[in-house]
A and B are shown apart, each in its own frame.
Chain A
Amino acid sequence: MGFADHFPALIVVVLFIAAFVSPLLFRWVEKATAPFVIAALVAALIMTTALLVRVQQSGPVLYHMGGWAPPWGIEFKADLLRIFILLIVISVSLWIFIYAVRDLKHELKKEVTGWYYTLFALLVGSMTGMALTNDLFNLFVLMEICAIAACAIISIKEDRECLEASFKYLILSAMGTGCFLLGVAMLYMATGYLNYSLLQLELVETLTLYPRNIFAAAALFIVAFGTKAALFPLHVWLPDAHASAPSPSSAMLSGLVIKIYAFALFLIFYQVFPRELLDLIPLNEIILWLASLGTMFGSIYAMLQTDLKKMLAYSSIGQIGYIFMGIGFDHNLALIGGFYHIMVHAVTKAMLFMVAGVIIYSTGVRQIKDLAGIGRVLPLTMLAFTIGSASMIGIPGTGGLISKWYLSLSALEIGRPFFVLIILASSLLNAIYYMPIVISAFMHQEDFQFKVKPVPFFMQAALVVGMFFIVIFGIFSKPVVTLLEQAVISLF
């Protein structure tokens, strides 16, 4: 086998090597740690692109760890959807990391910065593993690595609020993990397999023999992944955690971590459970209604906030509702809309949190009412905020419109126009709390009250890259939509 055949494993391995070697590098050669992690991320990105070319030519790639075929061994699978998510995760992490290297100097103490790089690399490595794996227990182990790394990049700042928020996140996440493991035990009891493909073949007949085990497993999986991905009633940890973390951590968490759990739920419902399960209990209805409530309530809570980062965190709850709606409609156009929204929201929310970080870095302001008139002092930053808000609302020309368009099309095609009303209403609610900030930033009468430090070059470059991609995703959406259509066809 050539070297290129090992890429599915090597993508995860390179990131874990970067995570393990960073503390040693930071102790001896401090300047080389950040370039080392950047090199590992770039290597992973190159390998993912090569894997994409190969999968488009010859179909899904299966990789057996250690040469053992399933059910004795762990399997990694790379098909179009998983590689799409991998590309999003690795490229957005690279972008956030370049921003973080400059921003962390004023948010963290000097000696813990090396540990931050380790946690960052562990987080990205575990997310790529979760997207690639085809085995339930491997998913459990990687999910736990992701949970600990995500809690640790919040609590590394060692403020009072971020310690409490991190503890709350850890306890609720541990509850989700316990439920997930119990669900895996239910499935293992009934079938004896842990591999996704073998489980799907086996569950078709097990559903008639042991229906209650499968129902219990499905319910436990919804609770587990709903807690970790902030589905509506289980979202209570998200505002504190994302608002009190350092800005690159907030961008990472809001942009990528909650999406990868939604993607894992999608994989389990479409590639493990059989389609006959939906005739017995309407799982997709439950997810659909909870997601619709989430979009409305996320925006309603966001309107009442006074702190900038808390408002962005509540807005994340609303936007993750769109992704769950895409999963819940059970139609191929809705899946295209949901996955496009994963891509657009990752870029947009990361950029909005970077804007918040730049504002805090140069002025120290966190309250919304103090942001009046800031557009004249930091024009590039507020332009980025305007384009990000336009994408959140769904204004044509930005990426947010394409995903909402596909979701509405799919709602009309399955004959439920009520959800088009919900999508429109939540877009209106998004406008109610984003537009006043933009308007008062640029057009307020008085000048900005606080002192302004100049913004460093790398942070500005990161914002420009974000703006560029949001507009590209809004106007030139055809390549990505074609890729997603190809990817989704195999599921129906």
Chain B
Amino acid sequence: MLSKIIGNYYYMVAIILFVIGMYTMLTHANMIKKVIAMNIMDTSVFLLFVAIGYTHGGQAPIIKEGSEAIYVNPLPGALMLTGIVVAVSVTAYALSLAVKIYRYYGTCDYDEICEIRSQE
């Protein structure tokens, strides 16, 4: 059992990063921290996906002339390029929203914003 966990350590790291990202995104009050945590969560899933494609003893999947070698599966990597672009767009949009909210309220902290709104 323990050898299985240590043998698959990249899967474990990905899941631990995912949970850290999700917990921070939902509980911490600072808006910029939420955006960073969303990035950590997405990056951990990309890490998991690319790690799935690994074959033992494989090389980077660029074909050289005349060499018969085992290549790592390039499909998850190509899929995750698209995923990274999607995550970048969502981050850019979320940060611009955070900048606009900061300009209205003067604080980046969600709890303080709720207090300011409840006093009005």
A binding-site residues for B, Cβ under 8 Å: 137, 140-141, 144, 147-148, 151-152, 155, 158, 160, 163-164, 166-167, 170-171, 174-175, 177-178, 181-182, 185, 188-189
Contact = CB atoms under 8 A, between A and B. Distances in A.
23 contacts: A137-B79, A137-B82, A140-B86, A141-B82, A141-B86, A148-B89, A148-B90, A148-B93, A151-B93, A155-B97, A167-B101, A170-B90, A170-B94, A171-B38, A174-B25, A174-B38, A174-B41, A175-B25, A175-B38, A178-B22, A178-B42, A185-B52, A188-B52
Contact of B97 (A140, A163, A182, A189): A163
A181 B50 CA distance: 13
Given A144-B90, A163-B101, A175-B22, 7 more contacts: A151-B93, A174-B41, A174-B42, A175-B25, A181-B45, A185-B49, A188-B76
Interface string B58-77: 00000000000000000010
B15 to A, nearest CB: 8
Given A141-B86, A181-B42, A167 B52 contact: no
B94 A185 contact: no
B26 A175 contact: yes
Contacts of A160: 101, 104-105
Interface of B: 18, 21-22, 25-26, 31, 34, 38, 41-42, 45, 48-49, 52, 76, 79, 82-83, 86, 89-90, 93-94, 97-98, 100-101, 104-105, 113
A182 B18 contact: yes
A163 B86 contact: no
A144 B94 contact: no
A154 B21 CA distance: 26
Contacts of A171: 25, 34, 38, 94
Contacts, number: 76
Q: Which 4 A-B residue pairings sit nearest by Cβ, starting from the closest?
A: A178-B41, A181-B45, A144-B86, A174-B38
A182 B113 CA distance: 32
B18 A178 contact: yes
A188 B11 CA distance: 14
Contacts of B21: 178
Contacts of B83: 140, 181
A174 B79 CA distance: 18
Q: Which of A147, A163, A178 has the most CB of B within 10 A?
A: A178
A152 B93 contact: yes
Contacts of B25: 171, 174-175
A242 to B, nearest CB: 17
Contacts of A163: 97, 100-101, 104
B90 A185 contact: no
B89 A166 contact: no
B45 A182 contact: yes
A147 B90 CA distance: 9
Contacts of A166: 97
Contacts of B49: 181, 185, 188
A174 B89 CA distance: 12
A185 B49 CA distance: 6
Contacts of A147: 90
Contact of B38 (A148, A178, A188): A178
Contacts of B76: 188
Contacts of B22: 175, 178
Contacts of A174: 25, 38, 41-42, 90, 94
Contacts of B52: 185, 188-189
Contacts of A137: 79, 82
Contacts of A170: 90, 93-94, 97
A378 B49 CA distance: 57
A433 to B, nearest CB: 25
Contacts of B82: 137, 141
A148 B88 CA distance: 12
Nearest to A189: B52
B14 to A, nearest CB: 9
Contacts of B90: 144, 147-148, 170, 174, 177
A177 B39 CA distance: 12
B24 to A, nearest CB: 11
